Amino acid sequence: MSKEDAWNWIIENESHVVEISDRIWELAELGLQEFKSSALLADTLEENGFVVERGIAGMPTAFMATYGSGHPIIGIMGEYDALPGLSQKAIPQKESLVEGAPGHGCGHNIHGTSGLAAAISVRIAMEKNSIAGTIRFFGCPAEENYSGKVFMVRDGFFDDVDVALSHHPGWFNFAGVGSCLAVNSVKFHFHGVASHAAASPDRGRSALDAVELMNIGANFMREHVVQEARIHYVVEKGGQQPNVVPPYARVWYYVRAPERDQVEKLYEWLLRIADGADLMARTTHDVEFLEGSYNMLPNKALSDIVTTNMKEMGTPEYTKDEMKFAREISKTIPREDKMAGLRQTKRPGWEKLMDILLDQSIPDPWDEGIVTPGSTDVADVSWVTPTMEFTTATNAIGVPLHSWQSVAMNGMSIGHKSLIFAAKTIAGTALDLLTKPELLKKVRDEFKERKGDRIYTSPIPEEVKPPLEVAREAAESSR
């Protein structure tokens, strides 16, 4: 009965849950600036019997909400940060809600709310059925750009958690067992000497020259790295006008690879390239390490529990209007892009999905050993406790994340149905783990086997703090 109690609460409170998600969608706050979104989730949990600790791990918008006591401790993660420049109305044509403003192009309005609804519903079921243990919701800011969870892991907030669950909007109803790329995020600040670029260029030392030389070195570096590695950058500052030799320039890099030790080697190489740029341009530079994260440590036993719960419920049904919306959105995605995206998933029989708008199947995981080219701070959690971040079909197949199309679908009824389905899946999985010790043991045994004798060491040095000022400046520039 415990699952039915949880699922019934979610159904009975569906309109309120959707209202919370839509409010976060409207707020669309950037990483480490999600003050209103974070407060909405934390306040709601507090109103529903959770003890909330706010501002954890040095981040004002991070929090931890706890109900119950003792083990097992089941953690549920929720995100709520948006992306810059993606403001979009919930319509199938490109039209900004607020021109130039942020938007939820990765569905974190749904992400945070699905976890919140699951946590509260599990609390209800625990009370009704006298279930022992602890349910703990982690409010996780800045996944998109500053890896908030890595700071939380570094500060020990997941150390006593037995299992961590998370959900992310996507194309499929799918509990994957693949991995992702580890990453370092770093800014290089180059310092030169200003001078008149025409009258006295010999007395100037161009910081922009150093940035360009470093970028040339990095681009030649690409030929000699492992195939799966990714190195990308943006020049944030390059001078103010052409007749002044730029005394300051800044470039922001991401370095990614399948394993953490590979990232470290590439990062050390990139540091030496920056030194070389100084030698050529006669400049100096400072390194600002922002954040880093690990590759994901998967867990097939957790995947099986999530998949079983999905199949027990069955996927959402869609109305004619919803299918029309998905069809109109799909028309904006070139067919060759949809094909490329499906091929990249390596899902068996992906060709059969080319003419499908919304995936209503629940496939078993096919991705053991596959490394996706993105990165996530969920991966660091997976190295300290068994972790599963599954996806539910929120976007029409082919719609890329971080796009206006995704923002539109995350703010309308297709996204709402995905949210409710995900919340019920998390709740059912959490209750299985709370009430079936043999399942919990199987999950934790696999975690120990996969991790082996490898030791997790935080990629963020102890002296590095969450980049609150950087985040504030980014938020102000996006307004």
Q: DSSP alpha helices (H): ranges in 316-412?
A: 320-330, 335-345, 378-382, 404-410
The rounded mean pLDDT for the chain is: 96
> pLDDT (tens digit, 9 = 90+) per residue, 407-458?
999 999 999 999 999 999 999 999 999 999 999 999 999 999 999 999 999 9
Ordered structural domains, the chain, with CATH = 2-177+296-451 (3.40.630.10), 182-294 (3.30.70.360)
Query: What pLDDT score does 447 carry?
Result: 98
Q: Which DSSP state fits 70?
A: S
Q: Is the pLDDT of residue 51 over 90?
A: yes
Contact 346, 366 (CB under 8 A): yes
Range 96-125 average pLDDT: 97
pTM (2 decimals)?
0.93
CA dist 290 and 263 (Å) reads 15
CA dist 205 and 14 (Å) reads 61
Q: Across the strands, what pairs with 391?
A: 168, 174
Phi/psi of residue 50, nearest 5 degrees: -95, 145
Query: What pLDDT score does 105 carry?
Result: 96
- Token code pair at residue 176: 């994957």
Query: What pLDDT score does 479 carry?
Result: 65
Angle at 425 between CA 351 and CA 2, to 5 degrees: 150
Q: Is the pLDDT of residue 477 over 80?
A: no
> pLDDT (tens digit, 9 = 90+) per residue, 222-275?
999 999 999 999 999 999 999 999 999 999 999 999 999 999 999 999 999 999
Phi/psi of residue 261, nearest 5 degrees: -65, -30
Residue 206 DSSP SS3: coil
Q: Which DSSP state fits 30?
A: P
Q: Is the pLDDT of residue 1 over 80?
A: no
Query: What pLDDT score does 366 carry?
Result: 96
Query: What pLDDT score does 473 carry?
Result: 86
CA dist 395 and 420 (Å) reads 15
> pLDDT (tens digit, 9 = 90+) per residue, 139-156?
999 999 889 999 999 999
Quick one: pLDDT band at residue 301, thresholds 50, 70, 90?
very high
> pLDDT (tens digit, 9 = 90+) per residue, 354-409?
999 999 999 999 999 999 988 999 999 999 999 999 999 999 999 999 999 999 99
Query: What pLDDT score does 470 carry?
Result: 84
Query: What pLDDT score does 392 carry?
Result: 98
Query: What pLDDT score does 475 carry?
Result: 83
First to last CA, the chain: 49
Quick one: pLDDT band at residue 324, thresholds 50, 70, 90?
very high
Cis amide leading into 92 (omega within 30): no
Query: What pLDDT score does 225 carry?
Result: 97
Quick one: pLDDT band at residue 41, thresholds 50, 70, 90?
very high
Residue 235 DSSP SS3: strand
CA dist 378 and 44 (Å) reads 23
Neighbours of 292 (CB within 10 A): 26
CA dist 158 and 138 (Å) reads 9
Query: What pLDDT score does 474 carry?
Result: 82
